[in-house]
Structure 1
């Protein structure tokens, strides 16, 4: 027996570990997806589908990955499965329609666009054009980003913001508080400088927030990028170093990228880089995830348009080699600039040459599924990040959810303003399952999540701390059930509708009451006591599933104890006062579905209280009644829900008070 128990424990641990491994995979897949690392994300979502973990959700995200990878054939294959899901959001009708259009199944596409429209979706006239941009239309099916206020804007130009180690670095022409202001003749604003401020600071940002050292000069300085250790800075500046300004053949002072190091809290040792030249501009530096490559914008010889994105390798000794234009997929005949590389090595940049909403728009690169180093396309990140004005200097924090960009759109404070953004974060339901008697966590409890139609969405087990977490969709209603062999099931209903977009988690803790030990009742006749059970009581058994005392019933809309059921209550009184004075029970009262939810909640509470009062009045120790609670119409035992025609007898079965034996000794 000990050997068998040991094996069961091992199996339980293995199951629990396996489920949480899948949960960890889903988190990683979602993070990769948010960072536009669609190739890696697709691989993990496929693994989740194979393991049948949160399959509906993983299938949706996998279909989206293929859409963003410009693979309408595979996208259509998985969207076809998605639209068959009972709980699929309607925007997937739209996405499926566009993926069908991408493989030239126009008639079928029209049918799904119509279904999307009939379901309440908004359809633009050009959505029915055969020439619609497949990837942009799919990406734009739902809003990806939401804007937050950036507290540090001024009435002048502000841009180039990024966050690192609790500080925000940005470039600004404010120069507020400075005794001497130098004006840039081009736009009659002060020259640009680089600022540093704590993310959580609430103070006004003036000249005192300029970074310390030799980086800021009397000319334009910024934007910047920092190595991951925060000790080396690459920054843009006019061709001005060691108090010498150099102009090109046309008398213009071009931009260069310089490098500086942090020494005793100040930026110094400013050095000109080999990629610079006097007769062209080099600016907007960006580093890749391991600081081995420097990306930048330049109009140097070999540039295709007004300016292109270029890249150069950074060697351990600091030398720059293997200069390369990023090529035609990124660069156009117009201007590209402001590259940024997130920690999944996905590039974001601004362009007025790719199809956009107007002027400069922000784009993200898409990698090849078979060769993750090859960029095969770009995608417009959509509204509200992009507008009909100039949108540029995009950055993304390591979480893949938040970041910054700049725009000169209407409604800002200055000529260019910084905007903070967040993507709608993944929402999950989480909680702890505990033993209702001793408060200990229940390990390896089965957690099942159902939608509002009763379809099982997800399945997992609690960990050693009784904890569970499951990703869920927004704007849906759910039911979650916890069960374990040694306990009576518990459940909660909850909704993700009308919740703030910033909310990432809904808590649903569950309490499991142990199945009572009825061995001591072996010599009693369970039929006389009114026990109902799904198995015969065995004198040698230590527990019986779902053991309950016989319920009592109530008249319609009444909560008084009827005479015939007072007899049943008297049996319980005898049991609890004479035979088993240490018995602990719970009282649970219910209503039928007729009447409003609020009315039924109040009615069931009154039924529970009247039952409790009766037992106490007959001598039952109040401490032996763990709780008395009303559940309204939430726990119907038959099909008689709202709108269902039922007999009076069937409705009567729902108007009940039940008794759960929690402990016998």
Structure 2
């Protein structure tokens, strides 16, 4: 990651080969590195471009160098030069150019670029058509067929709902008649007030004999929907506004419901207290703990609610106090009822809603919770679990894919019934997007590289650092296009586009980063810094062509920056044509190259040169050997060997 221009040029008198970041300690470095220099390719490109030379590759590199360093005024300049030359570029350049144009106030042109980007990079449009046409039944159909569902075997003719699992036991809510003379009925439902009940679970998560939960939790009114910490020693649960024999009421004389906390001591639930954000004037209910037990999710109609009831979350502080409740927002909540949240250890939130397109009544929906607390799109879990009636109270064990939910669907045993399920196929198709960050030249792993993940429209999703082996990984969706950016100090930032596989599995994307500094020493070929393999001349001629002048400008710029540098310019041919002809032609071309550099300001005493013809072939392609054109091309090369620094 860089806070300055991607490449920079500096001469150093001493330098540690293995640690480029220790510039402050140069004075104590080993003297054997006195003759290294670092060539700033980007600065050279910029000076060459200012002379009027044009190249698509050069303008892309210049634009990128400023874009990745947030100097968007300069990136607008060079991307403008790029688009003045060609529109045949990757879609990402339309996006980058649009962002750069906005900075300099050219909003109309920026919108044109963004529109073009959208046209070129849009994913399959059926997702958007689904939303715009509200063709939700097809989506529900696609999500169906993923469960086997059966009666849980713990139901009564009354209302049974709201399951939680703790320490191999299922705890649930029931209004069943236990034969107690003191059991009372709620006048609104003609059902008995609910209490908590418990049953052991076997290895297959089948409930055993049902018994009443701890009597110390019971009151004259409703207890329901508990959630437990992993150690089973803390419980949050729903109860009518009733504590220590006192019943609370709102301004309309109605007793609402609140969330309470209890702790387990000596096998009894004690210290029952209402939570700090509870109120007599609104309800809080159906708590669910996050996997790390630092956040409590719940339903409420407290001020700030978007609909009849919304889902909220609240931070649990280390000292046991609570933060301020936060509405989960309109990605989750609607103008209808959202209730019964459950968050699993894969950071998925399941909840019931009647404000979204569904099959009928309350349906169960799911959304992925991102690391930054935002939510992915909300999906209906399908018609196996959802019905035309109310379906809610979903709970799943992510290892076995077994769980429970509640429904008052036809064919049940009572008012509400608890059903057991096995999820045969996950709703969300997931891919592991992974790879290794390496040095382009040495192939060595690069630990500590920042790897950022963006969606297909370059919205930031998340970022990680490559580990000690240079490895990185993201959990992503199947069949989606992502952009992955890798950056590390002293390396040029690189961005790759990848589309993940369409089924659950893995997608590999390795990223090789190029050193942003080109290190050279006496005996090295300066042309390698700029990818110069050959200075091009017209056939059988030795005059400098326009393409050759563009490459020579790079060499010229370095020579002007380093007045003590000397070069030996070597020209080579392949073995075709006669030995004498190749020798003479290559010698004329070497001398033409020297002449061009001298004409443009380099002293002749800094330059030597010779044509070697076909005497220094780099492969087998000598006379009478059958070779491909590509193999012959390897021998046609120009070299700029550094003889002095």
TM over 0.5: no
TM-score, normalised with respect to structure 2: 0.44
Which structure has the greater CA radius of gyration?
2
TM-score, normalised with respect to structure 1: 0.43
Instruction: Tell which has more relative contact order, 1 or 2 (C-alpha 8 A, sep 6+).
Output: 2
